[in-house]
Amino acid sequence: MTSLLVPLAVVLGGCASTEEPAAVDAARSFLTLVRSDPERACELLAPRTFEHLAEDGDGECSKGLDDSQPPVGGDVSGATVAGRSAQVVLGDQVVFLARFDAGWRVTAAGCERQSTDAAVPYHCTVEGD
C-alpha cells in the first residue's frame, strides 16, 4: 500500500505545480479586466458567479461587477491548486477559481478572512451562490 501512495503523491504534486501558473494568470487577468473591460472580465467568471452578478446588475454581469468593486490586485504571495480548485493570494485579497473545460474561471474574488478561525468563511465582494 505504501508503494502506491508515493507515486500517487508525486503525480498529484506534479499536476498542482503545472496548474498553478494557469490559475495565477486567470486571477491576474480577471483583476486587470475588472476596471478596464468588465465585460471581458465577466467572461472569466464561473457560471454561477456570472449569474449572481448579472442578477445584481439588473441582467448585466458587467454592471454587477462594477457595483461590487473588487480590489484590483497586488503581488502574488501564494497559490494553491487542489484538483479542480485553486486559491490565489494577491495583495490583501484571495481569488478562488475552479477548473472548467474552457480553463480556470473565477468563483469568488475580493475575498478576505473574517477571523483567524479557519472554520469562519471568507467575505468576498464577488461570489456566486
pLDDT tens-digit readout, 56-105: 999 999 999 999 888 877 899 999 999 999 999 998 899 999 999 999 99
pLDDT at residue 9 tops 80: no
The residue range of the domain holding 69 is 2-127
pLDDT given for residue 72 in this prediction: 79
pLDDT given for residue 14 in this prediction: 43
Distance, C-alpha 38 to centroid of its chain: 16
Long-range contacts of 16-20 (CB under 8 A, 24+ apart): 16/80, 16/81, 16/82, 19/81, 19/86, 19/99, 20/79, 20/80, 20/81, 20/86
- More confidently predicted of 72 and 110: 110
Question: What's the total number of domains in the chain?
Answer: 1
pLDDT at residue 42 tops 90: yes
pLDDT at residue 51 tops 50: yes
Mean residue pLDDT of the chain comes to: 86
Looking up residue 41, the CATH number of its domain turns out to be: 3.10.450
pLDDT at residue 15 tops 90: no
Q: Are 38 and 32 in contact (CB under 8 A)?
A: no
Q: Quick check: pTM over 0.75?
A: yes
pLDDT at residue 7 tops 60: no
Cα distances (Å, whole numbers) of residue 112 to 17, 62, 88, 89, 120? 24, 22, 12, 10, 11
